[in-house]
Amino acid sequence: MNKPKIGVIGIPGKWSTEVLADHLEEQTGFRAVIDMNQVELRLDTQQLMYQGLDLMTLDGLIIKKISEVYAPATEDRIHMLSYAERAGVKMFSPTQSVGNLINRLSGTLALQQGQIPMPKTRITENPEQAFLTIREFGSAILKPLYSTKARGMIILTQDDSDDFIRHALEEYRQNQSIYYIQQTVKLDGRDLGMVFVGGDYLCTYARVGNGDSWNTTINSGGRYELFVPDAELIELGRRAQSCYDLSFTTVDIALTDQGPVVFEVSAFGGFKGALEGCGVDAAKVYADYVLKECVLKGDTKA
Cβ atoms of 124 and 131 within 8 Å: the answer is: no
Surface-to-core class of residue 271, CB atoms within 10 Å of its CB (0-12 exposed, 13-18 middle, 19+ buried): buried
- 59 and 82, same domain (yes or no): yes
Mean pLDDT throughout 254-274? 91
Q: How confident is the model at residue 175 (pLDDT cuts 50, 70, 90)?
A: confident
Looking at residue 166, its amino acid is R
Looking at the predicted structure, is the pLDDT value of residue 123 above 90? Answer: yes
Whole-prediction pTM value?
Answer: 0.89
Domains in the chain: how many in total? 3
- Say if residue 199's pLDDT is above 60: yes
pLDDT in tens, 132-145: 999 999 999 999 88
Question: pLDDT tens across 157-174, in order?
Answer: 999 999 999 999 999 998
The b/e string for 6-34 (b: 16+ C-beta within 10 A; e otherwise) is bbbbbbeeeebbbbbbebbbeebebebbb
Tell me the C-alpha distance between 194 and 206, whole Å.
9
Tell me which residue range forms the domain holding 15. Answer: 6-101+284-296
Distance CA 25, CA 16 (A): 14
Look up the CATH number of the domain holding residue 54.
3.40.50.20
- pLDDT > 90? residue 219: no
β-bridge mates for residue 196, sequence order: 201, 249
> Is the distance from CB of 291 to CB of 285 less than 8 angstroms?
no
Let me know whether 204 and 258 are in one domain.
yes
Write out pLDDT tens, residues 89-100: 999 999 999 998
